[in-house]
Amino acid sequence: MTVPASPINHESGLLAHPAPKRARGRPRKTEDERDDGNRRHQLLTAAARLFRDKGFDATSTRDIAAAVGMHSGSPFYHFKSKDALLLAVMEEGMRSALARQADALHGPASAASEPLVQIRRLIRAHFDTLLGPGNDFIPVMLYEHRSLNARQRASLAMLQVAYESAWTPVLEALHASGHLRAPVKLSRLLILGALNWSVQWFDEKKGASLDELTDAAMALFLKES
């Protein structure tokens, strides 16, 4: 059997180490990449909190990465840019709001079809979205909507329309029954505007409960009897 000649560096007379073979296929994923879904959610939650506390412009991707224990460049594996992360935060907030709203409208109750029951549930679910646990997503949308570009705003608008459209038939029924005196479209805008402003002043440690806020909103906007 012939023994193959060893690779020799003729200048030094030493054995030369062969170049390492190039690995085939895609590079091995990092730990962050393997745990994509969970890490993405952590980034969204941290970004929402920081965008709300510091503002979008004052928050860096380094800040967001540090908040979840990532390297400064790791967020870009999950999101193309900080702008894309901002849009994702808002979309996450709207999808969560839509799910909570659907649960509220279809929850068990003997009088679930009654407009007064439905509007109370809509208002209570909206307060949950704005002021309940993990409530940074929608306030970021209210504060930072202008930071989106036109295409991003158009994408988000479809979710907003889907959310607000659930209010219209309920308000129409209340208007027909005499419980709502103002025009339906204006009522929807005024009610949602007033509820949204609560993120500016509500403090659960000093203020009323969400149920008490719901009662106050019902008394303010509707004639119940």
Domain residue ranges in the chain: 81-221
Q: Say which residues have a Cβ less than 8 Å from residue 68's Cβ, sequence separation at least 6.
A: 39, 42, 43, 46
Residues 44, 88 contacting (CB under 8 angstroms): yes
- Taking each helix axis as running N to C, give the angle between helix 150-165 and helix 167-177, from 0 to 180 degrees, rounded to the nearest 10: 40
Q: How confident is the prediction along the chain (225 residues), in pLDDT tens digits per residue?
A: 444 444 434 444 434 445 555 445 444 445 544 455 588 899 999 999 999 999 999 999 999 999 999 888 888 888 899 999 999 999 999 999 999 999 998 866 545 569 999 999 999 999 999 998 888 999 999 999 999 999 999 999 999 999 999 999 999 999 999 999 999 999 999 999 999 999 999 988 877 899 999 999 999 999 865
CA 57 remoteness from chain centre: 18
**What's domain 81-221's architecture?**
Orthogonal Bundle (1.10)
